[in-house]
Structure 1
Amino acid sequence: MSDQTYQIIAIVIYMGAMLGIGYVAFRRTNDIDDYMLAGRGLKPGVAALSAGASDMSGWLLMGLPGAIYLGGMHEAWIGIGLLIGAWLNWKYVAPRLRSYTAISQNAITIPSFFEKRLKDNKHLLRIGSAVIILVFFTFYVSSGMVAAGKFFDASFGWPYLTGMIFVAVITLLYTLFGGFLGASLTDVAQGLLMFAALIAVPIVAVIQIGDFETLGSRITTANPEAFNLFSSFSDNAWWVAVIAIFSTAAWGLGYFGQPHILVRFMALRTPAEAKTARRIGVGWMFLTSIGAIATSLIGIAYFAEDPLSETNSETVFLLLSQVFFHPFVAGLVLAAVLAAIMSTMSSQMIVCSSALVEDLYNITGRKASPKALVMLGRTGVLVIAVVAALLALNPNSSILDLVAFAWAGFGGAFGPIVILALYWRKLTAIGAFAGMISGAAVVFIWGNVDVLTGNMYEIVPGFLVCLVVAWLVSRATFKPSTEIEAEFTSMEEEVGAKVTA
């Protein structure tokens, strides 16, 4: 058999496994709580790996290695910022969010949590945040479909549209029927596959090259600044370098507002299990990030005589896997890239579905049976997928810029509100709404002005404006509420926090 045949067989096996997991989840999905939140029954390992796989996407296997290969180690500051942000999110947000969403009338989405936590009877928060989710995530899912189309075009020579539709249909099927549990369980398999691929490539490369000293020498010969985290900042004033590093690492701020990650916290069995999940999740993220960085450095040495161009630098991980492994194993590595794309798409489809059903349909006051709500949720997934596919028909669509913009949008609009809702008793509904809209607006404006974007990632001003506006407006509109006080105190007692006045 040819190398490509082996690779296709490996990918077909992977796709079949994902559909099988989706079917198992389908058999365990009975009502809307199961479909949207797996009945709050995720084990720590499942929640951790699911959050990691749905978060990292193809950026970890292609974007980061390609950026470091092309631009140098200073690009690793994004990974450093994300690692710090993930740890802080698991440590300070996860246990409180799991507890508070259950206490606040069993909120199963971020928009419904905002409304129930702040007793927003006018539904401003729920509608506003649901609309933001639908807009950003529809384009986010579309970017995944674009990536899938380009993946099959580059790897197997398939037409762009064929590859896009193939991945979209498989992802849609296991998400459509398995719901949140199906997405989470497939994320675990995908996370383990990504982990194995990112660890295996550097290890096999070192074994074949000889030893670490020889490898390090070859890397520095090809690029003397390869290991320098500050290589691109050396010619600038110190304060310019500090701003540049902070702006790059500020990706970590986005974690506090990402609905598809926060929902994993809400699905944990108990708040106490966030500690175990944090260790698993951050450990997975640390090791896979090291693997991605190591892969890019090995690529610098291996392709020293025939360097990769700017257009194909993101394929360094794929090329090394094909060099060092049997074609079937290389096919599994290619499947890991698909895993990264598909895990993120499935998670985003579920969040969009929950925004349509739980946050927009339910507030109309119409009554529906549990099975009817599940069917509505599946219909929502289908609608989002179709719209996203239509947006992805253009193969020249920007992927990286769209992902960065959406990440900043959620971080700037939702991040400060989540933190304040969990740690400040005096946050008000109108304050949260004002902050959310202000943050989203600043991200949108800042992200579309080149002179501003070039000096600071838009998530920083968006996050700060949202935080300040929410605090100021809440201070001006605060009125004591016995119900809010009681729920806040109950949450703090459950997570073992010191209760303050």
Structure 2
Amino acid sequence: MSDTAVSIETDWAIVASFVLYLLLLVGIALYAAGARSSSMTDFFLGGRAMKHFVVAMSAVTSGRSGWLVLGVTGLAFVDGAAAVWSVVGYTTVELFLFLFAAPRLRRFTGRMKDITLPDFFASRLGGGQGLRVLVVVVIVLFMTAYVSSQFAAGGKAFAGTFGVADTTGVWITAGVVLAYTLLGGYVAVALSDAVQAVFMIVGLVVLPVVVVASLGWGPMFDTLRALDPALLDPYAIGVGGIIAAVGIGLGSPGQPHIIVRYMSIDDPRSLRPAALWGTVWNVLMGWGAVFIGLSGRAVYGGVDALPSADSEQLFPFLAGEYLPGVVAGLLVAAVFAAIMSSADSQLLVATSGVVRDIYQRILKRDAEDLDPRRLVMVSRVVVLALCLLAVGMLYIPGMEDLVFWLVLFAWAGLGAAFGPPLLMALFWRGTTAAGAAAGIVTGALVTIVWYYTLSDVLYELVPGAIASALAVWAVSALTRKPEGAERMMGLLKGDPSERAGVQG
């Protein structure tokens, strides 16, 4: 990990507004520490009592991370209006999840007292401990690397914004995330994500409005047309490119840190208003990111005008150029909000896999009446350990390459591995534990192999998800359905005879 500080002129207005943002997160942690954190359900799901607005905002921000604020803006800078297809993909898929998949998941997990994704698979499909261990191993491996990469991104953002060393920035990012996750568990994470969603939406709406207003709507499009007419053509990337961009949305059903949000809502019926809020926020933030890229291209002309000729530096650079220090500081906070809202969620999901599914369900399965407060204490210790592991990975020579490799496949790999088995378990009564295991392994392997062989033809998540779905179907058809499959489907659908206790 680099330990080189960037030499920049400090804007104390930016520093002050950013410090206020950090203090707000600490305040949320202190509030959440006195709220729901006394049991496993409290610590990992907020007691299944989260309101629809918080769930919607938390699901949206934890799913987007720095990829939206830095990645999509940079993609739109390079490819123009065609970047909108990636927004269309995940917005459509997540609307479907909110309206159709999430209610089934919430009803079932509430009735069965499931806390984690491995819990759901074990309750719905059976399969002994093998399936549970497989799911946990994949989650912990990818999520720890994902958290490590988020800390590294935070370190670089601190270095570029405040002139501190990358190492210092990593520890600050990790320290803030650790503080509110450790203190308040899921409540702190969800509430901070909701607050961070506001920062992100302000950043992604205010900045393009200001830049477009300064350029003029017509002159901006004239400039883009003069640079390259394809920048204004959403179909310029061709059918294959559109399928690949829309296909990004196929990853959403397989992201445990998004799925757990649906499990935490207070009432399955609240998922409909959550769908409205989540979709509006996805559309606003997505279109904002695209217009930041387009307006930035009109301002700078080409990538060489950006710091390090890196299109992903567009957002903070443009904010510093066009906005007063205090406002720019809030927009810088939006970058960190995107990073932290994913890191905290991924850290908590990885912890839940270790504590709930390995420690409680396997190592201590014969122990009777484990003290809930002891389990929460163990959870906090694991949060600390995984956080230190994520930071430590950045110090091991050569480990950064492994972290990069894992993160490269995190969205696509998790999406292909878990998405089809989860959806088929929710909607197809014939799904079996062996089928789900086959889908998880097949989806991950096809994603990796496709990336190294045919990624120029089609984004690896698309064939990975298709292969996973086929594997679930084929193996399930050849294996025996779990006992009580009809009753399980009744719980998922909310049949009147099975509704008692669904709110769980």
Instruction: Please give the TM-score of this superposition, normalised by the length of structure 2.
Output: 0.91
Q: Does 1:369 align with 2:371?
A: yes
Residue range with higher mean Cα deviation, 26-35 or 455-464: 455-464
Q: CA deviation at 1:495?
A: 9.3
Query: Which one of the candidate residues 457, 466, 470 is aligned to 2:459?
Result: 457
Q: List alignment gaps of at least 5 residues for structure 2.
A: 1-8, 499-504
| Structure-1 residue corresponding to 2:485 | 484
- Does the CA contact (< 8 Å) of 1:272 and 1:495 recur in 2? no
| Structure-2 residue corresponding to 1:427 | 431
Q: CA deviation at 1:304?
A: 2.9
Residues 304 and 446 of structure 1: CA distance in aligned 2, closer, same or farther (over 3 Å) = closer
Q: List alignment gaps of at least 5 residues for structure 1.
A: 234-240
Query: Which one of the candidate residues 438, 444, 447 is aligned to 2:442?
Result: 438
Indicate the SS of the match to 2:234. Answer: coil
| Structure-2 residue corresponding to 1:384 | 386
What is the rounded CA distance, in whole Å, between the counterparts of 1:44 and 1:444 in structure 2? 36
Residues 480 and 68 of structure 1: CA distance in aligned 2, closer, same or farther (over 3 Å) = closer
- Does the CA contact (< 8 Å) of 1:254 and 1:459 recur in 2? yes
Structure 1 residues 267-346: aligned runs within 5 Å: 267-304=264-301, 307-308=305-306, 311-346=309-344
Q: CA deviation at 1:309?
A: 6.5
What is the rounded CA distance, in whole Å, between the counterparts of 2:422 and 2:273 in structure 1? 22
AA at the equivalent of 1:197: G
| Structure-1 residue corresponding to 2:4 | none
Residues 205 and 30 of structure 1: CA distance in aligned 2, closer, same or farther (over 3 Å) = same
- Does the CA contact (< 8 Å) of 2:54 and 2:190 recur in 1? yes
What is the rounded CA distance, in whole Å, between the counterparts of 1:429 and 1:405 in structure 2? 24
AA at the equivalent of 1:102: G
Residues 376 and 480 of structure 1: CA distance in aligned 2, closer, same or farther (over 3 Å) = closer
Residues 22 and 462 of structure 1: CA distance in aligned 2, closer, same or farther (over 3 Å) = same
- Does the CA contact (< 8 Å) of 2:40 and 2:375 recur in 1? yes
**For each residue in 1:232-253, what CA deviation from the matched residue of structure 2 results, as whole angstroms up to 9, or x when unmatched?**
x4xxxxxxx3233212321111
- Does the CA contact (< 8 Å) of 1:150 and 1:163 recur in 2? yes
- Does the CA contact (< 8 Å) of 1:149 and 1:395 recur in 2? no
Residues 283 and 198 of structure 1: CA distance in aligned 2, closer, same or farther (over 3 Å) = same
Task: Report % sequence identity.
Answer: 35
| Structure-2 residue corresponding to 1:212 | 217
Residue range with higher mean Cα deviation, 461-470 or 51-60: 461-470
- Does the CA contact (< 8 Å) of 2:119 and 2:357 recur in 1? yes
Q: CA deviation at 1:401?
A: 6.4
| Structure-1 residue corresponding to 2:251 | 254
Q: Does 1:245 align with 2:249?
A: no
- Does the CA contact (< 8 Å) of 2:126 and 2:433 recur in 1? yes
| Structure-1 residue corresponding to 2:16 | 9
**How many equivalent pairs are there?**
482
Q: CA deviation at 1:394?
A: 7.2
- Indicate the RMSD between aligned Cα atoms, in angstroms: 2.2
Instruction: Please give the TM-score of this superposition, normalised by the length of structure 1.
Output: 0.91
AA at the equivalent of 1:244: G
Q: CA deviation at 1:494?
A: 4.9
- Does the CA contact (< 8 Å) of 1:143 and 1:402 recur in 2? no
Q: Does 1:25 align with 2:11?
A: no
Q: CA deviation at 1:392?
A: 2.4
Query: Which one of the candidate residues 257, 260, 263 is aligned to 1:263?
Result: 260
Residue range with higher mean Cα deviation, 77-86 or 331-340: 77-86
Query: Which one of the candidate residues 182, 186, 211 is aligned to 2:188?
Result: 182
- Does the CA contact (< 8 Å) of 1:55 and 1:261 recur in 2? yes
Residues 167 and 76 of structure 1: CA distance in aligned 2, closer, same or farther (over 3 Å) = same
What is the rounded CA distance, in whole Å, between the counterparts of 1:327 and 1:394 in structure 2? 37
Indicate the SS of the match to 2:93. Answer: helix
Indicate the SS of the match to 1:425. Answer: coil
**For each residue in 1:121-166, what CA deviation from the matched residue of structure 2 results, as whole angstroms up to 9, or x when unmatched?**
x211111100000000011001101101111122222111011111
- Does the CA contact (< 8 Å) of 1:54 and 1:343 recur in 2? yes
- Does the CA contact (< 8 Å) of 2:142 and 2:407 recur in 1? no
**For each residue in 1:181-218, what CA deviation from the matched residue of structure 2 results, as whole angstroms up to 9, or x when unmatched?**
11000000000110011111112223333x42233223
What is the rounded CA distance, in whole Å, between the counterparts of 1:95 and 1:165 in structure 2? 38
**For each residue in 1:431-490, what CA deviation from the matched residue of structure 2 results, as whole angstroms up to 9, or x when unmatched?**
21122122222223333x2x3222222212221222111111111112463x33223213
Structure 1 residues 34-433: aligned runs within 5 Å: 34-103=42-111, 105-120=112-127, 122-209=128-215, 211-231=216-236, 233=237, 241-304=238-301, 307-308=305-306, 311-363=309-361, 364=363, 365=365, 366-367=367-368, 368-393=370-395, 397=400, 402-433=406-437
